[in-house]
Amino acid sequence: MQRRTVCLGCMREKGQAQVCPFCGYREGTPPAAPHYLTPGTILAGKYLIGRGLGHGGFGITYIARDEVLGVKLAIKEYMPQDCAGRAPGESRVTPFSGEGTKRLADGLESFLQEARILARFDGSPNIVGVRDFFTENGTAYLVMNYLEGITLRQYLVRSGGKPVPFNKTLGIFLPVMDALRTVHEAGLLHRDVSPDNIFLTTSGQVTLIDFGAARQSMGAQASISVILKPGYAPEEQYRSRGNQGPWTDIYALGATMYRTLTGKIPPESLERLRQDCLVPPSRLGIALPPGAEAALLRAMAVRAEDRFRSVDEFRAALLASAQGQPAPSPRPQGQSPAPGPRPAPDRRPTQERQPAQGRQPAQGGRPAQGGRPAQEEVTYPLPHKNKRASSGVRPAVIVTAVALSLTLLLVVGFFIYLSSALDGADLPGLDLMQTPANSVSPTATPDAGAQQTPTPEVEETPTADPSLGPFDQGARPSQPLSSFVPRAGRLLTVEDENATVTWVTGNAPSARPDMLRGQFAYDAETGSPQGGVYGYYLASDGSLRYASVEEGGEDVLILPGDCAVGVSFTGELGESRILAVNYSGSVGGAQVQDAIVVECASGYAFYAPDKGLLLLQTGMEGGEVLRRIVSDEADGAGVYASFVE
């Protein structure tokens, strides 16, 4: 049988190679989870399904390819795990007994609604585009454009959880505000704005994704589903009859900005009802204009009536503070948001004189449709075409020309920033206040202190962030893979979800002299080994493997020979990807140096020199611990030598 020439891991042409030279995916790799479709499945007669990109409670997203057009795509499959399932190796989705059939049918209608919503925004530059929708295998599929890049959450993780400076944060969120304005003008709410649903593409685009929770419910009093992310959802979203409107998305937008600015997830809105425990960013040592902080805190007000009524109001307040202008006068506190759709442009309240809030052109100068009538001009940090004609040479003309020149420089920097987001680089293109005089060249010496300890008095100068080096695409470990095994002569106590096991390590057993290290499980109470002898060895392709000494026994891949950031492989933890190398810091209460971080279906694994797999946990920065070494002691009694030649 002829081998497929398209890699099912990245959908690039790999020729007849079994292992993709671009992403490291091995042909024949099983699905990352039993309920995933098998890679290589064809849907609708033309869509080739590849590896799973991720899943939530209601759906699975796959990388895919249109075999007719030869286009890389993303396909989202409706798969509610609480009411339906799929047998391994099968394609059909089967509802569970009881109410599973009805719940699956109701969910399919909501999934179709998401497709309809996205179709309404086709062509909007900052909203993910939908290409097709179809039903098959007892469920439904949504075909979307494939986005090359990373989510904001992934960027924040790669930056080590460090705060992102205000000007750079603003540059990320202005396109998100454009997207939300479009959504709200259509009479819809997103209801799930969070770092997971803001995508930074390598082409320089910021895109709002995942409209699975979107509803036509602006100000609606009818009961609606409770969908939320703790820390980002306002209090009205916790109630099925909460008065939801644009202010609901504005809270989530503000909370996401707070997370980006401070590196901390804000407290849940319900916790703030009695006593507001939200700490202003300035009290955390974050440098930002006072007007911007006031606008952010107003967007995150616990009571809906105390928040901005529209994204445009929030945007105007942030831009005014960023450009040193007085912020628009706030609406009197306690005024309740009026239910129902927001007023049309020609019926907007006129008591506040606000900067022009017409829809901005898409990046690259593409004009938007349906913009509002031009009002008083303001200089935006993103491309725009609002130019006012004037006669004669006036100082204002000179100032405007200088401002436009600086804006052009900032736009170029904006695209440079996002094109480097995959590599976890610093964000020079988003410093909206940066001028040629204070800009930093790419070869400047990184100033880690400026990034870690910003002060309110001095505007932070963007510098290369040395902590992002471990996440650089293609980076390789400084130590050989043979270093990432336990030392000989140790008693390692390993704790996982099911049990605690003590492993005794030693030199290679005589039966396998090619092994770097041998080990066996040991029961201290009985003083005897438990099971056989295993060991680590380097294969002919340079990969690090773990195998049984007995012929024909277990043999699994630990780390690939081509161990570089971005390389995907299937090993002891299933489908995995090298997330970082030469990683140093504190993980699970232990200090690591030059560790290799692997992202897998279960979470994040940390391989340390002289330890091997030190820690496996559900989150990069913490979460549930699935496996860890709890003690590492010397084999003083010579247990290994007593049982292994």
Of 26-35, 358-367, 559-568, give the range with the top mean pLDDT: 559-568
Q: How many angstroms separate the Cα of 274 from the Cα of each of 248, 264, 269, 279, 304?
A: 19, 21, 10, 15, 15
The domain 150-340 having CATH identifier 1.10.510.10: the answer here is: yes
Q: What is the pLDDT of residue 111?
A: 85
pLDDT at residue 291 greater than cutoff 60: yes
Of residues 256 and 523, more confidence is placed in 256
Which residues, including other chains, have CB under 8 Å from residue 314's CB and lie 6 or more apart?
177, 250, 253, 254, 295, 298, 299, 308
Q: Measured between alpha carbons, how far is 184 from 250 in angstroms, rounded to an integer?
A: 11
Query: What is the pLDDT averaged over residues 578-606?
Result: 88
- Determine phi and psi for 409, rounding to 5 degrees: -60, -40
Of residues 77 and 89, more confidence is placed in 77
State pLDDT tens for residues 105-155: 888 888 888 788 888 888 888 998 889 999 999 999 999 999 988 889 888
pLDDT at residue 331 greater than cutoff 60: no
Q: What is the pLDDT of residue 588?
A: 73
pLDDT at residue 463 greater than cutoff 70: no
Give residue 58's pLDDT band: very low, low, confident or very high (50, 70, 90): confident
- Inter-residue contact 104 to 170 (CB < 8 Å): no
pLDDT at residue 90 greater than cutoff 50: yes
For residue 319, with 0-12 CB atoms within 10 Å meaning exposed, 13-18 middle and 19 or more buried, which class applies? buried
- What DSSP state is assigned to residue 204? S
Q: What is the pLDDT of residue 428?
A: 37
Of residues 228 and 151, more confidence is placed in 151
Of residues 243 and 174, more confidence is placed in 174
- Inter-residue contact 211 to 190 (CB < 8 Å): yes
Pinpoint the residues of the chain covered by CATH 3.30.200.20: 42-145
Give residue 32's pLDDT band: very low, low, confident or very high (50, 70, 90): confident
Q: What is the pLDDT of residue 591?
A: 81
Pinpoint the residues of the chain covered by CATH 1.10.510.10: 150-340
State pLDDT tens for residues 334-373: 344 443 333 333 333 333 333 333 333 333 333 333 333 3
Q: Measured between alpha carbons, how far is 307 from 295 in angstroms, rounded to an integer?
A: 9
pLDDT at residue 61 greater than cutoff 70: yes
- Inter-residue contact 4 to 40 (CB < 8 Å): yes
Tally the residues of the chain: 645
Can you tell me whether residue 3 is helix, strand or coil? coil
Q: Measured between alpha carbons, how far is 540 from 302 in angstroms, rounded to an integer?
A: 60
pLDDT at residue 66 greater than cutoff 90: yes
Residue % of the chain over a pLDDT of 70: 73
Residue % of the chain over a pLDDT of 90: 41
Alpha helix stretches (DSSP H) within 203-310: 246-262, 290-299
Give residue 489's pLDDT band: very low, low, confident or very high (50, 70, 90): very high
Q: Measured between alpha carbons, how far is 159 from 24 in angstroms, rounded to an integer?
A: 25
pLDDT at residue 42 greater than cutoff 50: yes
pLDDT at residue 56 greater than cutoff 80: no
Q: What is the pLDDT of residue 240?
A: 75
Q: What is the pLDDT of residue 465?
A: 41
pLDDT at residue 630 greater than cutoff 60: yes
Q: For residues 93-115, b (16+ Cβ closer than 10 Å) or e, as one string?
A: bbbeeeebeebbeebbebbeebb
Q: What is the pLDDT of residue 228?
A: 73
Q: What is the pLDDT of residue 57?
A: 62
pLDDT at residue 441 greater than cutoff 50: no
Q: Report the range of poorest mean pLDDT among 29-33, 341-345, 464-468, 625-629.
A: 341-345
- What DSSP state is assigned to residue 481? G
Q: Measured between alpha carbons, how far is 603 from 157 in angstroms, rounded to an integer?
A: 13
Of residues 439 and 572, more confidence is placed in 572
State pLDDT tens for residues 394-412: 444 455 555 666 666 665 5
Q: What is the pLDDT of residue 404?
A: 63
Give residue 386's pLDDT band: very low, low, confident or very high (50, 70, 90): very low
Give residue 495's pLDDT band: very low, low, confident or very high (50, 70, 90): confident
3-state secondary structure 489-552: CEEEEEEECCCEEEEEEECCCCCCCCCCEEEEEEECCCCEEEEEEEEEEECCCCCEEEEECCCC
Q: What is the pLDDT of residue 608?
A: 94
Of residues 76 and 393, more confidence is placed in 76
Q: Output the average pLDDT for the chain.
A: 77
Q: What is the pLDDT of residue 307?
A: 97
State pLDDT tens for residues 165-196: 999 999 999 999 999 999 999 888 998 999 98
Query: What is the pLDDT averaged over residues 319-341?
Result: 52
Q: Measured between alpha carbons, how far is 450 from 426 in angstroms, rounded to an integer?
A: 12
Task: Report the predicted TM-score, pTM, of the whole model to 2 decimal places.
Answer: 0.55
Q: Report the range of poorest mean pLDDT among 296-305, 376-385, 509-518, 559-568.
A: 376-385
Q: Give the class (CATH, top level) of 42-145.
A: alpha beta
Query: What is the pLDDT averaged over residues 76-102?
Result: 88
State pLDDT tens for residues 510-525: 888 899 999 988 877 7
State pLDDT tens for residues 264-286: 999 999 999 989 999 999 999 99
Q: Which helix (H) or strand (E) holds 175?
A: helix 166-185
